[in-house]
Every structure is written in C-alpha cells, then in structure tokens.
Amino acid sequence: MTDPTQMDPRRIETLRAIMKALRTPGSGCPWDLEQNFETIAPYTIEEAYEVADAIARGARSELRDELGDLLLQAVYHAQLADEEGSFTFDDVVESISRKMIRRHPHVFGDTEARSATLAKGFWEDIKSKEKKPQKDGLLGDVPVTLPGLTRAVKLQAKAAKVGFDWPDISHVYDKLAEELEELKGATPEKQAEEFGDLLFVVANLARHLGIDPEAALRAANAKFERRFRYIEQALEKQGRKPADSSLEEMDSLWDEAKAEGR
C-alpha cells in the first residue's frame, strides 16, 4: 500500500489513500473500522451545516477547512461502498460529471442547444426526466432527512407544481392566523401537532415570499445571540450577571442593543 505521508497532500489521490489506510483491517484506525454508512451519515450532515455557517460568517479560512471536512465525507462513503463492491470514488466523480453535462445542454450541447433560451422550470424539467417513477407518489422523492422547514418547503413546492397551492399569499396569512388560534385552544395532548401545523404554514409563507426559512431562522438565532451578549457585557461592567438582574433591566438593555442595530 502506498504511504500517504509520502504523497502530495494537494491531490485527491492522497486523501483517498489516507481513507483506505484508515479502513485497512489490522493496521487501520479502530474507530474508523467500526463505522458504516449509517454511523457516518450524521457527520456528513453536520459538516454540510458547518460549511454553510462559515459562508454565513464570511470566514474564508474556516470555509477552506470545512470544505475539506465535507470532501472527506464523500471519500469516506465512497470507500465504504468500494469495500462492499457497490461503487467506487471514480464512479461518484463520473456520475456527477455526466449529470452536470447532461443538465447544461445550453453550455455543453450542440449549436442549437447552446443558442436556446432557457425556459422557466428548465432545470426541474431535466431533473424530472432523469428520475425513476416513484412508488410513493409525487412527494416520495423528498428526502426525509432534510431539516424540517426545508423539507416542508420542498413538499409544498412539489404539490404547487400540480396546482395544489393557495392562489395568493393572503390565504397563507389567513391560514397562519387560523393555525395560531388552534394552537392557543389546543389541549396539552394536541399542542405538539398544532405547533407542527403552525410551523408548516410558516414554511409555506416563506416559500410564497421567496425566503429560505432555515437561513432566516439562522439569522434570527445570530441576532438573538448578539443582543443577549450585549446584555451580558453591559451587566459585566456593573459586576453582575443576567441571573442577578431583573427582566425589566434585561429588556431595557435588549432595547439598547436593538437601537444600536445589533
């Protein structure tokens, strides 16, 4: 086996050799040897979020590292598949290369295809032609592992393509008010269900407004963190902590942070 420590660290072959070495029985890493597709999948999702986080914060050096972590996930899954004889990393590269060429006839196609004007829904039409018929209906190919709000938007968008959608956004606002009232009057046993219905409508509202609900929520979380940190810092100057102050004091400091545009 080639020694990865003697290979060029800037080449993908080196990373593949590292992963193969980690998965080699007898000489590999005990932890890596215990892993499988199911145990690695959560890390894959986590790394994708960390990439998005680095982008949102404009942290380019962190983005470089996080993209490396995400790339490792692709190599990891491909190594597992190679071991069981399903496919190889080269198969993965070939699959995405062929897909990108196939889905961009206006770039890689013949003269007629390159000169064609892209029609609305062009990308989705090409994707739909590639997909195999779904046994579970129109919504069957929306991954269940997506974040809840993201999956809600995708489910709604697919249903909307066949006409199952509100004619205008005013109906979504009405539905939002309706679901909020139902939540207010729900019994403890029904609260979780009604809360879910409310979130589903919120996702629908985001779709109608052209907003990514996950990104909007991440931004709201970051804003909350900034403003609460302002409260902590202001109280620290007084030798106190939030637990030592009243709600009224913290509300006042919150308003200060808001006024300063934090």
Give tens-digit pLDDT for 124-135: 666 666 766 566
Measure the CA–CA gap between 231 and 238, rounded to whole angstroms.
Answer: 11
Shared domain check, 77 and 12: yes
197 and 219, same structural domain?
Answer: no
Residues 224, 185 share a domain: no
Distance CA 23, CA 29 (A): 7
What confidence tens digit (pLDDT) does each residue in 138-189 have? 898 898 888 999 999 999 999 999 999 999 999 999 999 999 999 999 999 9
Residue 122: pLDDT over 70: no
| Chain mean position to CA 206 | 16
Q: How many CB atoms lie under 10 A from the CB of residue 78?
A: 20
Q: Domain containing 58: what range?
A: 4-87
- Tell me whether residue 55 is in a domain: yes
Domain boundary among 51, 66, 87: 87
Q: Do residue 15 and residue 45 come from a single domain?
A: yes
Tell whether pTM > 0.85: no
CATH number for the domain that contains residue 198: 1.10.287.1080
What is the rounded CA–CA span in Å between residue 205 and residue 180? 14
> Domains in the chain: how many in total?
3
Residue type, 155: L
Handedness of CA 118, 124, 125, 130 (dihedral sign): positive
In a domain, 154, yes or no: yes
Asked whether residue 126 is assigned to any structural domain, the reply reads no
Could you tell me if residue 127 is inside a domain?
A: no
Q: How confident is the model at residue 105 (pLDDT cuts 50, 70, 90)?
A: confident
Instruction: Please answer whether residues 218 and 56 qualify as being in contact, where contact means their C-beta atoms are separated by less than 8 angstroms.
Output: yes
Q: Is residue 56 part of a domain?
A: yes
* Nearest in space to 152 (alpha carbons), one of 204, 225, 187, 224: 204
- Give the confidence band of 112 by pLDDT, cuts at 50, 70, 90: confident
Q: Does any domain span residue 52? A: yes
As a whole number of angstroms, the distance between CA 129 and CA 102 comes to 11
φ, ψ dihedrals at 244, nearest 5°: -95, 0
- Residue 253 pLDDT class (50, 70, 90 cuts): very high
* Same domain for 195 and 154: yes
| 98 located within any domain | no
In this predicted model, what pLDDT tens digit does every residue of 28-68 receive, in sequence order? 999 999 999 999 999 999 999 899 889 988 999 999 999 99
